[in-house]
Amino acid sequence: MRKAVKLVRGLQIQQDEKIFNLAVFSVIPWFKIKELFSMNGEEGKFARRDMRRGTAAGRMEQNGDVMTFRITWDDPLRGTNTDTVYLAGPDELHVCSVLQVGDRTVTTRSIYKRQINGLLTASA
């Protein structure tokens, strides 16, 4: 996961009263993650982030200004991912991720800065 995080170029977020749309862009043009989450907490299904066969299931919870995304997937390499997202300033978004696959857990924090075009770009 640490290597994959370094490939992230940015993310784009769109939200309305029903749907939270998350798109992650990487330095590899064909590698994009697109996930739709229901604002009412219902579980959604989408492609796995690791591009393996099968689907992932996820839901979003909102507590004030903090959003938490919980995603699970089955074999191969069954696991869970929890992303906690919050604004640290008017143009800065923090994403704290906990990925668990088998008995291994990796925790990362990514910081994104808003660009003029609305795309959030990862900062070094």
Break the chain into its structural domains and give their ranges: 2-122
CATH fold, domain 2-122, is: Lipocalin (2.40.128)
Q: Which residue has the higher pLDDT, 60 or 4?
A: 60
Nearest to 37, CA basis, from 62, 74, 8, 7: 62
pTM: 0.81
Of 6-10, 35-39, 60-64, 82-86, give the lowest mean pLDDT range: 6-10
Residues written for the chain: 124
DSSP codes of every residue in 19-82: EEEEEEEESSTT-EEEEEEETT---EEEE-TT--SSEEEEEEEEETTEEEEEEEE-SSS-EEEE
**pLDDT tens digit string along 44-98?**
999 998 889 999 999 999 999 999 999 999 999 999 999 999 999 988 999 999 9
- Average pLDDT of the chain, as a whole number: 86
Provide the greatest CA pair distance for the chain: 41
How many angstroms separate the Cα of 74 from the Cα of each of 20, 35, 41, 52, 54?
24, 17, 21, 10, 8
